Amino acid sequence: MAKDDSLSCYEKIGFPNSYRQNKEHLIFEDIIGKLPLLCTQNKVVLDIGCGCSELPLMLIDLCRKNEHTLILIDSEEMLSHLPNEPFIKKIIGYYPDCNDLFNKYRGEVDVILTYSVLHYIFVESNIWNFLDSSLELMSDGGEMLIGDIPNVSKRKRFFSSKNGIKFHQNFTGKEELPEVSFNNIEHHLIDDSVVLSLVTRARNQGFDAYILPQKSDLPMANRREDILIRKP
């Protein structure tokens, strides 16, 4: 999709325009608020699955200003849309299958951002290996944001609530109730058990970990949430 010139930069990364257009600055503000090291100087920053919309461009600007080293990992198709600058290291590949990154940066990365990516890892790969490998990269005092996690349990809680029903009816323009069903096998969907287990596993491995809400002006705040991990 990243190669399809008929698509907008939001569609190239899999979002309809309405979810991202004019909203990415709000997303970026939310991210910065959760990763305060980004606003310090001279750090090593890693964006796993950076995509090619305005979000990585905002991160590039901030890293240039604060003299960070920025490592961007994604497919060649995505990375080719982003600028080349001396402080940016592009890694083409499928994280965490990138030995060079681990050989060079184990214990050296101050900030890891992976936004709207975990649900791909959940379906295609191994989230435990993804988590453990990322923890290995983190420096002492480092921070990691696993952002924009679609949590089907949170979605069900919302669409079973009065506010969720109103939201659905405003969105569809109809009086119908949103479809919500419980006690199903939910292939390929992240639920509370996954989010809570990631937090527990990070904590058991010596890291502080928290589940954080997204600011309410974010496009999917009612059904997505973030995990913040800090190495003490």
Side-chain half-sphere exposure of 183, counting CA atoms within 13 A: 0
Q: State the maximum Cα–Cα separation within the chain, in Å, rounded to a whole number.
A: 57
Please list every residue from 34 through 63 that binds ligand SAM, using CB under 6 A: 48-51, 53, 55
**Among the candidate windows 100-108, 111-119, 151-159, 212-220, which touches ligand SAM by CB under 6 A?**
111-119
- Check binding of 78 to ligand SAM (CB under 6 A): yes
Kindly determine how many residues on this chain lie close enough to bind ligand SAM according to the rule CB under 6 A: 19
| Residue number with CB closer to ligand SAM (48 or 202) | 48
- Check binding of 82 to ligand SAM (CB under 6 A): no
Residue 149: enclosing H or E segment and its boundaries? strand 138-150
Q: Can you list the alpha helix ranges (DSSP code H) found in 21-108?
A: 24-34, 54-65, 76-79, 99-105
Residue 31 structure tokens = 């991210």
Site string for ligand SAM, 113-152 (x = CB under 6 A): --xxx--xx-------------------------------
- List the 69-74 sheet strands across, edge first: 88-92, 69-74, 44-48, 109-115, 138-150, 224-230, 208-213
Q: ∠114-15-13 over CA atoms, to 5°?
A: 55
CB of 28 to ligand SAM, least distance (A): 10
- Check binding of 227 to ligand SAM (CB under 6 A): no
Binding footprint of ligand SAM on the chain (CB under 6 A)? 13-14, 48-51, 53, 55, 73-75, 78, 94-95, 115-117, 120-121
